[in-house]
Structure 1
Amino acid sequence: MNSYTETEFFVGDIPYQMYVQYYQPRPDQNSVPIVLLHGAFHTGTCFVKTPDNRQGWAVYLAKLGYSTYIVDLPGHGRSGFVPDLPLMSYQRIINATVALLQQIGPAVILTHSMSGVVGWQTAKTHPQLVKAIVGIAPSPPADLLPATTKNSHEVFPEDRPRIQSREDTKKYFTNSDTFPQENFENYFCSLVAESARISNELRNVEGRGLYICHPEILYDIPICVITGDQDPRHPYKVDAETAKYFGGDFIWLPEVGLPGHGHLQMLEHGNLAIADLFINWLHSKGVMRSPNLD
C-alpha cells in the first residue's frame, strides 16, 4: 500500500491551464509542499519514474512524507492543447505557477533547465509564496545573458513549435555516464513539442528575455543550484555565476562524491542520492523539517 494518496486538478486560465498531480503523504505531515517544474520538451512524468522504471523524485519525496506537486506546464502533456503554442510566452507559465502557489500556499519550488526562469520570476513577483528554490541546471535570468541578435542560429522561427531532434537529445540530454542508455527509446518517446517563443526568450533574443534587475529581492529566499559535470550546456562557471547572482549556494556534484551526471539528474542512476542532497540542504536552511513517519 502506498504511504501517500494521489489526486489531480487544474489551475490557471484556459487555454493556458496547468495540470497538477498531487501526492499527499499519509498521514498529512503539514510540511512545506514541494512543487516540481520540468524543463523544455518534457512533462511532469520525468519526476515520477525513470525510463528504466526506477523510482522518481516525486514518489520518493511523497514516501518520505513530503507533500509533492508535479505539474505539466501549460501546453505540455496532460495540460492540454494550446492553439498558439509556438507563440506561448514564459509569462503564461509564470501565471499558472503563481495560481498554483496561491491555491496551495507557500512552497519550495524545484526547477529544471528552462523552468529556472519561472522560479526566478515567481520569486521576484510573489516572494511571500516561495519558501526556497532548488535549481537543477537552471536557466539563468536574462541579466546574465548577452542579447542575441535575430539573425543568430540560436533564434527559432515562431510560426511553428520546436521539436527536439534525436541528435540533440543524445548530445545534450542523455550523454552522461549515468543515464540509462539501454532505455533511450523509452525516454525519447516521452518528449513533447516546445514553444519557440519561450526558447527565444530563454536565449534573450533581441533583449526579450526576462530580467530580474534587482537580485537582492531574492536574497532572503534560500536558493541552491545543483549541476553535474557532464552537462554540456551548464558548465561550472555558468551555473556558479547564477547561484552567486542570487546570493545562493552552488553544488557541483563531483565535489560531493557524485560524478558522471548530466542534464537529466532526476532520471539518471543515482537520482535518489541527489534527492537526498537537496532534502538535506532544505533541512540545513530550516525550510523543511523531517516528517514524523512513525
Structure 2
Amino acid sequence: MTRRLLAVVTLLATSALPAFVLPAAAQTAAAPASTGLTGPLVLEKQGSFFVGGRNVTSDTLSTLPAYAASGTITVEQMYVRYQVPVAAQRPPVTLIHGCCLTGKTWETTPDGRMGWDEYFVRRGHPTYVIDQVSRGRSSADPSLVNSVKLGKTPADKTPPIFAAGQEAAWAIFRFGTEYPKVHDGMRFPVAAKDEFYKQMVVDWIATMPTPNPTVKALSELSKTLDGTVLISHSQSGIYPFQTAALDTTGIAGIVSIEPGTCPAATGDLKPYMNIPIMVLWGDYVETSSRWAPRLKACREFAEALTKAGGRIDHVVLPDLGIKGNSHMLMQDDNSLEIADRLVAWIEKNVKAKKN
C-alpha cells in the first residue's frame, strides 16, 4: 500500500458535509464536496458470507430425471457482501433492498454511475450489502412448487410468488403516474430504464413466515458487527424496526428510505427510544394513492416517537428544496448528493466505536 493511496483514503474518510437538518437554502448553497470522487478504491478487505439458514429435507426438490428429488437443502439464509476501507473510522452501514429487487439496488446505477455501496466505502464506512432471504444469492425453497407440479399437493396450495411488471413498476417507483408518462422534473435516468428492469426478480416474500427470516438475520449481523446503521428501502423499510423490536444490540442507527410501512404510532415505542432514526422520502409522494397514506402513517409515527422522547428525523426532500426524486432515489441523478447528506447525518447522530 503506497503512502499516496493511504492519503487518498484518509482525505475521503474525513470530509464532512451539512446534515439534513440545515435550512433548505443552506443546503442548496453547499454543494456536496465529494460527489466527484475518483481514483483507486483502496480496501482493507472484502468478501461475502451468509447469516442464518436451516436445513430442510424434501422429496420434491426436483421434477427433472437428471436430478434427485429427495435430499436436504439449506433455506432462509441471508447473503452478505462487504467492503471495508483502510483504517475505517466511521460506523459500518448495512444496505437492505426492497421489493422485487436484490442487493444490486445499491450497486452501479442503471446509467453507469457510482452506486451507494462503493460511495459509502469511499466515505470511510465499512459497507455491507445483503440479498434478502429467498432473493438473489439467498436461495429459495422449490419444494412446494414441485410438490404441486407432481400432484402431491393441491393446486390451490401453490405458493404466492409474484413479479412486478414493468408497467406497474413505473407507477410504483414513481417515474410517472402511469406508464409511460414521466413526472415533470423527475430525476430517475429513464433512458436507462431497460437496465433497471433487468435488476427485477421474482419476489417470494408472501411465502415467508412473520417476521421475515431476513429480520432475524439482520439482528445476528448487527450483533456481529457490534454497531451498524441499518439502511432499508421500501418493502424492507420496516425491517430495521422489527430487528430493533427483537433486540436493539448492535443497531447503531436506522435510515428507512420510503418504507412500505412504519411502526404504529400507537404501538410500543420503547425499542426505538435510544436509536437515532431517519425516515426519508423523495418527491411526488403526496400525489400517489399508494404512497401518500404511508407517508402520513410514518409522519404520525415520527410525531409520536418525538413526543415520547425519541430521536427521529422525518425528512421529505421537497421540503428541503430537493425536488424530482423518484422512489429509487439511490439511483436518481442526484443520488450521491443524497448519500452525502446521509453521511453527514450519520456523522452527527451515530458514534463510531473506538478500535
TM over 0.5, shorter chain: yes
In 1, the alpha carbon distance for the partners of 2:227 and 2:221 equals 10
Q: Is the 8 A contact 1:24 1:68 kept in 2?
A: yes
1:21 aligns with 2:61: no
**Change in CA separation of 1:230 and 1:82 when aligned onto 2, cut-off 3 Å:** farther
Q: Is the 8 A contact 1:223 1:246 kept in 2?
A: no
- CA displacement, residues 168-202 of structure 1 (integer Å, 9 cap, x when unaligned): xxxxxxxxxxxxxxxxxxxxxxxxxxxxxxxxxxx
**Structure with the greater alpha carbon radius of gyration:** 2
- Of residues 227-236 and 110-119 in structure 1, the stretch that sits farther from structure 2 once superposed is 227-236
Q: Which residue does the alignment assign to 2:284? A: 230
Structure 1 SS opposite 2:264: helix
1:87 aligns with 2:87: no
Structure 2 SS opposite 1:20: strand
- CA displacement, residues 113-153 of structure 1 (integer Å, 9 cap, x when unaligned): 11122111111221122111001011324636xxxxxxxxx
**Sequence identity (%):** 31
**Change in CA separation of 1:242 and 1:268 when aligned onto 2, cut-off 3 Å:** farther
Structure 2 SS opposite 1:116: helix
Gaps of 5+ in 2: 1-39, 54-73, 145-203, 307-311
Alignment-mate amino acid for residue 221 of structure 1: I
Q: Which residue does the alignment assign to 2:6? A: none
In 2, the alpha carbon distance for the partners of 1:108 and 1:283 equals 11
Gaps of 5+ in 1: 145-211, 290-294
In 2, the alpha carbon distance for the partners of 1:244 and 1:82 equals 41
- Of residues 34-43 and 124-133 in structure 1, the stretch that sits farther from structure 2 once superposed is 124-133
Alignment of 1:185-264 (within 5 A): 213-231=267-285, 232=288, 233-235=290-292, 236-247=295-306, 248-264=312-328
In 1, the alpha carbon distance for the partners of 2:89 and 2:344 equals 18
Q: Is the 8 A contact 2:262 2:298 kept in 1?
A: no
Structure 2 SS opposite 1:12: strand
- Of residues 43-52 and 229-238 in structure 1, the stretch that sits farther from structure 2 once superposed is 229-238
Q: Is the 8 A contact 1:40 1:114 kept in 2?
A: yes
Q: Which residue does the alignment assign to 2:124? A: 65
Q: Is the 8 A contact 1:227 1:234 kept in 2?
A: no
Picking from 219, 243, 248, the partner of 1:127 is 248
| Deviation for aligned residue 1:30 | 4.5
Q: Is the 8 A contact 1:98 1:122 kept in 2?
A: yes
Structure 1 SS opposite 2:261: coil
**Change in CA separation of 1:288 and 1:124 when aligned onto 2, cut-off 3 Å:** same
1:3 aligns with 2:57: no
Alignment-mate amino acid for residue 283 of structure 1: E
In 2, the alpha carbon distance for the partners of 1:105 and 1:288 equals 10
Q: What's the C-alpha RMSD, in Å, of the aligned pairs?
A: 2.2
Alignment-mate amino acid for residue 32 of structure 1: P
Picking from 312, 331, 338, the partner of 1:274 is 338
| Deviation for aligned residue 1:7 | 0.9
TM-score with structure 2 setting the length? 0.58
Picking from 96, 112, 115, the partner of 1:56 is 115
- CA displacement, residues 99-123 of structure 1 (integer Å, 9 cap, x when unaligned): 2223222211001111122111111
In 2, the alpha carbon distance for the partners of 1:45 and 1:39 equals 11
TM-score with structure 1 setting the length? 0.70
**Change in CA separation of 1:242 and 1:228 when aligned onto 2, cut-off 3 Å:** farther
| Deviation for aligned residue 1:264 | 0.7
- CA displacement, residues 6-54 of structure 1 (integer Å, 9 cap, x when unaligned): 31111111300111010110x1314321011111111011101111111
Aligned residues: 222
In 2, the alpha carbon distance for the partners of 1:79 and 1:246 equals 34
**Change in CA separation of 1:30 and 1:288 when aligned onto 2, cut-off 3 Å:** closer
Q: Which residue does the alignment assign to 1:46? A: 105
Structure 2 SS opposite 1:21: strand
Picking from 226, 239, 246, the partner of 1:105 is 226
Alignment-mate amino acid for residue 107 of structure 2: V
